[in-house]
Structure 1
Amino acid sequence: MKFFMKCDEAVHVCDKSQYNEASFFEKLKLKMHILICVLCRGHAKRNTKLTKTIKSANIKTLRPEEKQRIKTKLQNEIKNGHNS
């Protein structure tokens, strides 16, 4: 198995890591790559900042029932609008 990765793979693993989907070995390879590559290091820092910002945003979303109610209403409006 290759220990060093290319930048495109590093970006992909960095994104996976953001969502806790990267394996231990992928994270290790990413850390090694980031030590060497300035561009990917910058990407990783921005990704980390984005993750922290999103987690601290305390965003409120609609419940699935509310989403379905709005979707149904929109579909009915579109259907009734085409029949007029």
Structure 2
Amino acid sequence: MHAEIATVWADSGCAGPLVAWAEDRLNVIFKTIRRLSNPPGCIVLSRRWVVKRSLSWIMRARRHCRNHERLPQVNE
């Protein structure tokens, strides 16, 4: 892992055993962005845009997240 990564921002879907594993094995601070239970109207969540932007970058370069080739030789 990159030594310069010290803090990982994640969506609330990443909560659970992944947080403890990341903090223990990767020596990073894992911060989860959570929603309020009953928000009064529209509330901007801090750092949520960073998580969504990063996920959209991964999905934009679909080769990083999808592998549609059927033969392993084509994938290399």
TM-score by length of 2: 0.30
Which of 1 and 2 has greater Rg? 1
Higher share of residues assigned strand: 2
Higher share of residues assigned helix: 1
